Amino acid sequence: MSEEQPHANLIVPAFRTEKEPTTQTQNGNNNVWRFGGSEKAAKASTVTLRGVIYMLFDNCSKDVKKTVLPLGHGDPSVYSCFRTSIEAENAVVDVLRSGKGNSYGPGSGIPPARRAVAEYLNRDLPNKLSQDDVFLTAGCNQGIEIVFESLARPKANILLPRPGFPHYDARALYSGLEIRKFDLLPDREWEIDLEGIESIADENTVAMVVINPNNPCGNVYTHDHLKKVAEMARKLGIMVITDEVYDQTIFGDNPFVPMGKFASIVPVLTLGGISKGWVVPGWKIGWIALNDPEGVFEYTKLTQSIKQSLDITPDPATIIQVALPEILEKADKNFFAKKNKILKDNVDLVCDRLKDIPCVVCPKKPESCTYLLTKLELSLLDNIKDDIDFCVKLAREENLVFLPGEALGLKNWMRITIGVEAHMLEDALERLKGFCTRHAKKTEKETESLEALKLSE
């Protein structure tokens, strides 16, 4: 818990007492203060991961003589084994020393960077993109915000996956979009429940979100499944928003297939960035790409709305924009392979250790992403109500923070971050095993033995 820990600059408990809010409503002149905090973000903030993680950290204690293990959120970049490639670092250093990245940029992004993203994506697309189809954002999350603001209108609803990435829920709530959830099916490789989509969509549905490679499930969708998704979206008259930020974080057998391959069937808006592949979330550079050979986005004025939204929001740092063409051009396959091997080894480590913890089960090894979803067998435990209760008590007793599945829309599941150093996972699983052993239901024979011991005493 010391500040020297590599992850201490992220979100770990400070164990300090917050100042009590004042109840004063008048200023010194006996006039009522006429300002106050907006309520708009109040509801949206309740569904963010940060809110859940902060709550769990509040349950950690300095009285537990163990360091806090923050395995509820994911940022591999703070660990030396996941440091980004030297080529990416050199690209940024060269721009810094040249002075070419010190100015403002246009709202849509500087043309060379937009062109470089188009070329990067075109490697796998039949319908080629131009720089005019690409808009740069301050990370993939800002891309979500821009797109949702551009789609928002009275009565509009959007289809989001369950489980999913909570930032989509938060931004939909903030933008006034009604959320309707479709299920990902764990017994079918986390495929999308296409029948379920058709049953919840109506004339006010504007889009569906597909996360591929999937966060948090860690699966990679097949070509055939994505084609069925495109055909379903066309039938419903809605666009597909595809989040492909994990396209360079794959360590399983299924190859990555971009949703843009099916743009001739349905208009596809792709969100991406370098934060996950290059392990540089702090560089805040992402993109929106419009895969739309039939010009539907232009006709419906979505393109215009995106441009207008970008004109009134902060730009990604110009220095990173200028470096982006070289970062993408010199993408090192060996760097990706090394990073992905570490993740695969960590997955194997966790799954192997979970064999000794019957109440925590991983139904399917992830083949992408930096997380591992586990199902909690609560019937094997005493005095544990649900996944939140499990994670809160785990934090209190072990200073170990995992993410309860309810934060992702998956009751009585739990997410373990694997984008950390292996020794942290070993420590975490040892603590998890001890916790589950203490809370395990006693067999009838064990109960009788305990009662006999009490009587003898």
**Domain assignment present for 111:** yes
Q: Of 419, 369, 380, 428, which is closest to residue 401 (Cα–Cα)?
A: 428
**Domain assignment present for 94:** yes
Rg of the chain on CA atoms, in Å: 24
Under DSSP, is residue 159 helix (H, G, I), strand (E, B) or coil? strand
Cβ burial, residue 202 (10 Å; 0-12/13-18/19+): exposed
Distance between CA atoms of 184 and 192, rounded to whole angstroms? 5
Distance between CA atoms of 405 and 48, rounded to whole angstroms? 13
For each of the chain's 457 residues, which pLDDT tens digit applies? 444 444 444 555 555 545 555 556 666 666 788 888 877 777 777 777 888 899 999 999 989 989 999 999 889 999 999 999 999 999 999 999 999 999 999 999 999 999 999 999 999 999 999 999 999 999 999 999 999 999 999 999 999 999 999 999 999 999 999 999 999 999 999 999 999 999 999 999 999 999 999 999 999 999 999 999 999 999 999 999 999 999 999 999 999 999 999 999 999 999 999 999 999 999 999 999 999 999 999 999 999 999 999 999 999 999 999 999 999 999 999 999 999 999 999 999 999 999 999 999 999 999 999 999 999 999 999 999 999 999 999 999 999 999 999 999 999 999 999 999 999 999 999 999 999 999 999 765 555 554 555 456 5
**Domain assignment present for 141:** yes
Domain extent, residue 217, equals: 86-329
Distance between CA atoms of 133 and 117, rounded to whole angstroms? 10
Distance between CA atoms of 238 and 158, rounded to whole angstroms? 9
Whether 342 and 308 share a structural domain? no
Check if the beta carbon of residue 368 is closer than 8 Å to that of residue 336.
Answer: no
Whether 270 and 391 share a structural domain? no
**Domain assignment present for 418:** yes
Supply the DSSP string of 36-57, one letter for each residue. ---SHHHHHHTTSHHHHHHHHH
Check if the beta carbon of residue 341 is closer than 8 Å to that of residue 126.
Answer: no
DSSP state of 32: B
Domains contained in the chain, number: 2
Check if the beta carbon of residue 233 is closer than 8 Å to that of residue 266.
Answer: yes
**Domain assignment present for 20:** no
Q: Which of 329, 347, 378 is the last residue of a domain?
A: 329
Distance between CA atoms of 137 and 153, rounded to whole angstroms? 22
139-151 and 166-175 are packed helices; what angle lies between their axes, rounded to 10 degrees?
40
Residue 22: per-residue pLDDT: 58
* Cβ density class 263-285: b for 16+ within 10 Å, e for less: bbbbbbbbbbbbbbbbbbbebbb
Q: Which helix (H) or strand (E) holds 170?
A: helix 166-175
Whether 154 and 57 share a structural domain? no
Residue 6: per-residue pLDDT: 44
Q: Of 307, 310, 374, 378, which is closest to residue 347 (Cα–Cα)?
A: 374
Distance between CA atoms of 264 and 126, rounded to whole angstroms? 9
Q: SS3 helix, strand, coil % of the chain, rounded to 5? A: 45, 15, 40
**Domain assignment present for 455:** no
**Domain assignment present for 33:** no
Distance between CA atoms of 169 and 176, rounded to whole angstroms? 11
Residue 66 sits in a domain of what CATH number? 3.90.1150.10
Distance between CA atoms of 92 and 327, rounded to whole angstroms? 8
Whether 66 and 152 share a structural domain? no
Whether 360 and 376 share a structural domain? yes
Distance between CA atoms of 45 and 53, rounded to whole angstroms? 12
Q: How many CA atoms lie within 13 A of 241 on its CB side?
A: 23
Whether 171 and 223 share a structural domain? yes
Terminal-to-terminal C-alpha distance of the chain? 41
Locate 256 and state its tokens. Answer: 């990555």
Query: What are residue 179's DSSP bridge partners?
Result: 158
* Cβ density class 311-320: b for 16+ within 10 Å, e for less: eeeebbbbbb
Residue ranges with strand state E in 163-291: 178-185, 191-192, 205-211, 239-243, 268-273, 286-291
Whether 385 and 419 share a structural domain? yes
Whether 64 and 91 share a structural domain? no
Check if the beta carbon of residue 49 is closer than 8 Å to that of residue 402.
Answer: no
Residue 157 sits in a domain of what CATH number? 3.40.640.10
Q: What angle do CA 185, 272, 126 make, to 5 degrees?
A: 85
Q: Report the predicted TM-score, pTM, of the whole model to 2 decimal places.
A: 0.90
Whether 371 and 383 share a structural domain? yes
Residue 1: per-residue pLDDT: 40
Whether 160 and 220 share a structural domain? yes
Check if the beta carbon of residue 282 is closer than 8 Å to that of residue 77.
Answer: yes
Whether 292 and 308 share a structural domain? yes
pLDDT tens digits, one per residue of 370-418: 999 999 999 999 999 999 999 999 999 999 999 999 999 999 999 999 9
**Domain assignment present for 75:** yes
Whether 243 and 168 share a structural domain? yes
